[in-house]
Amino acid sequence: MPARRSERLYTDDLGRLEVVDPDFHDLPLMRSLDPGFRIRRRVLPNDGAPRFQQARRAGVGVSCKDLARSQESELWAFHRSAMAQLRSGCSAPVRQGEADLLSLKVELAFRLAAPCRLCPRQCGVDRLSDETGLCGLGAEALLAEAFPHIAEEPQINPSFLLSLAGCGLRCQFCQQAGLLYPVKCGSVPLSQVHWGECALRGARTISFAGGNPDESLPGVLSFLARAPESLQLPVVWNSNAYSTPETVALLEGVVDIYLPDFKFGCEDCANSLAGAPDYPELAAQSIVAYQAQGVPVIVRILVLPGHVDCCHTPALKVLSVLANPLLTISIRGQYRPLGGLLNDAGAMSGRASAEEVLHVVQHARGLDLNMTEDLAGAEM
């Protein structure tokens, strides 16, 4: 298990101390800064065992050897059939020698890694031969940090957070820039991490984050396949929503709660800040696909200074069209000018103003979007 990265302390524009990504050890500090601080919790609908545990018990009608020697098109056909049975509640239990649905997903995820098609960048490198694309990852999923996070959205809080290195979306303002370069962030292969090392006590969920977890999908699914059968914590997928239909299809039946960012509502901004002009369209498509799986979707919007009208207002409009009872919006006001910002970053070189954050919150309320408990201020 990698060591916890150094505590991240910042001051806001008024000189107040902020603690970013706190864990249980930070509670005394948090309460010294805010005597009223509490670990926020809210009930999240739970319809039984975590979905990945259900996928482990669902047979797919072929043996593990058959999976290894089948063509990718055949594997997808097996997957469609098995998922249809899982959705209908008619999955047959795994028989001796038969592969389970999670194992099928693992096999397909590794096929997507060579040539790599795990994110919309479609680098096409052979990651199983340790070639690396834009995300910087080879064959292994790399774990940079793991700890119980006590300041996530109330529905999932506290959450045992596994921060994975690597991301195919290179935002200049990345708030986790240290994870963008896997070889430099002191990570360890997720395949070498044992579940017994995970400090799950006190956690209500398990979150895969980063970086971005999509690019590490083969390793994450393999890690879940090694989980103890007694593990009953829901799985949270904390991503940038810049996903492919194939990756989202493999996440169905595994993820219990989606926690995507909606970073940009404007193609020009997505292009200038992340080199991804297709981001707004693909993020919206991903959120639609997440919702189609019938699980809660909590969409985060990190308020970027100078981008309220061009990015956040259009994003909220899109979300208002997509809204259903399982969709919740979480507006975050703790942007900091980090990452690889250029010298001429303009408004992005400072913090988002209180007025900008309030404008986004009020606009979301005006669209009758379901919102989390107000977390627009500094993260605590």
Query: pLDDT digit string (tens) for 274-289?
Result: 999 999 999 999 999 9
Domains and CATH numbers, the chain: 8-46+141-366 (3.20.20.70)
| Orientation of helix 267-274 relative to helix 279-292, angle to 10° | 100
Q: How far is the C-alpha of 236 from the C-alpha of 159, rounded, in Å? A: 9
Whole-number CA gyration radius for the chain: 20
Q: How distant, in Å, are the alpha carbons of 131, 196, 279, 334, 336 from that of 303?
A: 35, 37, 17, 8, 10
Span 102-106, average pLDDT: 98
Share of the chain above pLDDT 70, in %: 93
Q: How many alpha carbons fall within 13 Å on the CB side of residue 210?
A: 31
Name the pLDDT band for 196 (thresholds 50, 70, 90). very high
Tens of pLDDT, residue by residue over 342-373, are 656 688 888 899 999 999 999 999 999 999 96
What pLDDT was estimated at residue 297?
A: 97
What are the structure tokens assigned to 174, written together?
A: 């990345």
Name the pLDDT band for 380 (thresholds 50, 70, 90). very low
What pLDDT was estimated at residue 377?
A: 35
* pLDDT-wise least confident of 5-14, 124-133, 216-225: 5-14
Q: What's the whole-model pTM score? A: 0.95
Span 28-38, average pLDDT: 89
Name the pLDDT band for 106 (thresholds 50, 70, 90). very high
